[in-house]
Amino acid sequence: MLTEERHQIILKQLQLHNIVKLQDLIPLTGASESTLRRDLQDLEECHKLQRIYGGAQNILSYHDEPALSQKISTNTDEKDSIARYAGDLVQNNEVIFLDAGTSVQAIIPYLSKATDLLVVTNSVVNASILADYQIETFVPGGKLKASTKALVGSTTTKTLTAFHFDKAFLGTNGFSVKAGYTTPDPEEADTKKIALSNSNESYILADGSKLEQVSFTRFANLDEATLITNELPVKSLELLKTHTKVMEVK
Amino acid sequence: MLTEERHQIILKQLQLHNIVKLQDLIPLTGASESTLRRDLQDLEECHKLQRIYGGAQNILSYHDEPALSQKISTNTDEKDSIARYAGDLVQNNEVIFLDAGTSVQAIIPYLSKATDLLVVTNSVVNASILADYQIETFVPGGKLKASTKALVGSTTTKTLTAFHFDKAFLGTNGFSVKAGYTTPDPEEADTKKIALSNSNESYILADGSKLEQVSFTRFANLDEATLITNELPVKSLELLKTHTKVMEVK
DNA sequence: GGAAGATTATGATTGATTTTGAATGAATTT
DNA sequence: AAATTCATTCAAAATCAATCATAATCTTCC
């Protein structure tokens, strides 16, 4: 990888995240720590970024953000920690499906560690972000649902039926022992069902706020996918674990 | 292989990847390292590229380019007046195709006047914006091309082949009397070709800076579409009008 | 039309320059 | 006080510019 390519990757990361850790750049570029330190030095001299302890930040960053040194070291955001956990599950060379929705979207930055991925997503927003990360992406066709910017309908389901995934990552509007995983829109539920049944392993990303929420359409029973969530009340967790595999983050 | 052929290969690689390694050019051209170094020297002297350690990059390197969001707002006046003109052509109840690219993207705000549209686009960015405007949208499936965020490949072309449009609006990297409408990527050219041939009326949106620019792949002859552009030198305009229908805005 | 000479392009070799990754100890954070 | 992160140094690796001999192409002249 050429110097200029690394510089572009670093600046792209900053555009997207406003901040970047040096350690995260290592797998992203394949370069050594020393080289990346030199890159950060160079870019700082050109006033393209500002170095901070542990990495670098955008030169135009807002003052009202939480202390940057904290933000970089601690991952307070629940969605982000769930996403990071999920992203670490992905291996080189896999074909994975990403559902629409912000929970799943947060995985994308953590996919860069794996190489030679093929990502299939029915979200045009996810697709755009995946392109920013230079991750090979395939989009099934379909009708665009305005509210969620997800592709749905017969074209989508027909296309997805022909695919097979190593792992599928889905969001949900609610999960409950009685009702399973539910979502408001039957058409989106169809998409989720197919992705789920065509994947070796399926994961649902859902923070604690989705516990015992029930929406209109069930797209899966609890035991059809692994639930990745954050800290839940001990009682609920115990109950859930009798029905399905649960990964509790942090 | 002739010198000129090698130069074309090098420039094509740059158009596609924005950056190229000298080592990658060796198998691509079959020439020796020394020869390719000389090629890069020559092309740099003609200001066709910029040499960097290990290879070369486009003169307008990525991070010097205005960010995508800025890029939309700069040049607004010309692009926007062209887009407004194009948008006014759209009637109620029509099915239209929107190409990827900022010129075409600028049409979207002006589509809201027409009712009951169905828009088909191969750009995930356009799709997202169309959703914001609550315009009914269909996206053909396909491989996502990272640099332009356009969907390309056999799935895309196959899907589009089954459709028929009232009007198609396309961007171009250049237009010229000799070379017609051209674009760097052959796969994107395929998509444009099909959209064009499956549409009752086809329009190319291009500001004056595209005049007499020639890119790698021709996707249409001048007379296969109506050109919507802004003020051009009178001579060029007269010449163009002998070859195709031209709409001059402003 | 063809041969001799001049010009140009090519590929290999050389040593100089630049970049890289690892190691060390100092500085910083928690 | 422990753990990271940082700056500095150094040797190895990669890339570069310059040179030279050879091959290809073009001129010129017979």
> For the segment B125-171, what is each residue's pLDDT rounded down to a tens digit?
999 989 888 899 999 999 999 889 999 999 999 999 999 999 999 99
Q: In chain A, which residues have their Cβ closer than 8 Å to the Cβ of B127?
A: 124, 144, 149
Task: For chain A, give every domain's residue range.
Answer: 3-73, 78-249
Q: Is A72 in the B-facing interface, judged by CB distances under 8 Å?
A: no
Q: What is the largest CA-CA distance in chain A?
A: 59
Which nucleotides in chain D lie less than 7 Å from some protein C-beta? 4-9, 14-19
Note the CATH architecture for domain A3-73: Orthogonal Bundle (1.10)
pLDDT of residue B147: 85
Asked if domains B3-64 and B69-248 share a fold, the reply is no
Find the CB nearest A125 among B55, B128, B130. Answer: B128
Smallest CA–CA distance from B135 into chain A, residue: A146
Q: How far apart are CA A131 and CA A140, in angstroms?
A: 15
> For the segment A152-196, what is each residue's pLDDT rounded down to a tens digit?
999 999 999 999 999 999 999 999 998 999 998 999 999 999 999
- Looking at the complex, report in whole angstroms how far the Cα of residue B176 sits from the nearest Cα belonging to chain A: 31
**CATH 1.10.10.10 matches B3-64:** yes
B69-248 folds as: Rossmann fold (3.40.50)
Q: Is A15 in the B-facing interface, judged by CB distances under 8 Å?
A: yes
What is the value of pTM for the model shown? 0.67
> What three-state secondary structure class fits A123?
strand
Average pLDDT over residues A32-43: 93
Phi-psi region of A22 (alpha: psi -120 to 50; beta: other; left: phi over 0): alpha
pLDDT value at B75 more than 60: no
pLDDT value at A116 more than 90: no
- Tell me the CA–C1' distance in angstroms for A34 and D9: 12
Q: Is A159 in the B-facing interface, judged by CB distances under 8 Å?
A: yes
CB B21 within 8 A of CB B54: yes
**CATH 3.30.70.20 matches A78-249:** no
pLDDT value at B76 more than 70: no
How many Cβ atoms sit within 10 Å of the Cβ of residue B76?
11
> For the segment B20-60, what is each residue's pLDDT rounded down to a tens digit?
999 999 998 999 999 999 999 988 887 788 899 999 998 75
- Tell me the CA–C1' distance in angstroms for B36 and D19: 17
pLDDT of residue B64: 35
pLDDT of residue B144: 95
% of chain A residues with pLDDT over 70 = 92
